[in-house]
Amino acid sequence: MAPRAGIDVDTVLQKAVEIIDRDGYEDLSIGKLAKALSIRPPSLYNHIGGLSELKQRLAVLGCGKLYEQMIRAAVGLSGDDAVYALSLAYVYFARQHRGLYEATFRAPYLHAPDLKEAQEKVVQIVVQVLAVYELDEETTLHMVRGLRSMLHGFTSIEQTGGFGLPLNLDESFHMMIKTFLKGLPIKK
């Protein structure tokens, strides 16, 4: 029998991230992952409960990483600068980790507390960044939803090749955010 490969759940997750980022989310399987870790498929069950749990963990991990990227980008900035920085961080994260980004929207257990918590942290930065605009409190929250919709929508369509027109993507993205910011219902 082989000596222990020194695998733990983090190793498993890292390798899973490599696979989905390189080959696509749909390509992840217990067999492929085990092979990448040089162990037999059933051995993986020593570290994770199964494929669903793995996907769930990837979703939580993805949200956490996204959050880190966003918060790093927005530090020290405010107003439009912060919104642009945070939005760019969002899109760049998704481009850099397309599999992991996709995982954030493919969690098998949508109501799991740790997932909710990770998602809420992402929401919270958006709230903070929009809070400096002179909006009603409730309006701010509506606008948070708006901005998040734009970020995710743009990313998702981009990832599925849905922007076919010969038009610069970064420019589209920038103009979209600009248009939204310009239209914010600032209190007078």
Give me the residues that bind its own copies (CB under 8 A), please. 105, 107, 110-111, 116, 119-120, 123, 138-139, 141-143, 145-146, 148-154, 156-157, 160-165, 167, 171-172, 175-176, 178-185
Q: Which is nearer to DNA, 26 or 134 (CB)?
A: 26
| Closest CA relative to residue 129, chosen from 59, 67, 176, 64 | 67
Which strand (E) or helix (H) includes residue 2?
A: none
Site for DNA contains 29 (CB under 7 A): yes
Q: Which is nearer to DNA, 46 or 124 (CB)?
A: 46
Radius of gyration of the chain (CA): 19
What is the separation, in whole angstroms, between the first and last Cα of the chain?
74
* Residue in 52, 124, 168, 179 binding DNA, rule: CB under 7 A: 52
Q: Which is nearer to DNA, 5 or 110 (CB)?
A: 5
Q: Which is nearer to its own copies, 37 or 93 (CB)?
A: 93
For residue 85, report the phi and psi dihedrals to the nearest 5 degrees.
-60, -45
Site for DNA contains 24 (CB under 7 A): no
* Displacement of CA 114 from its chain's centroid (Å): 15
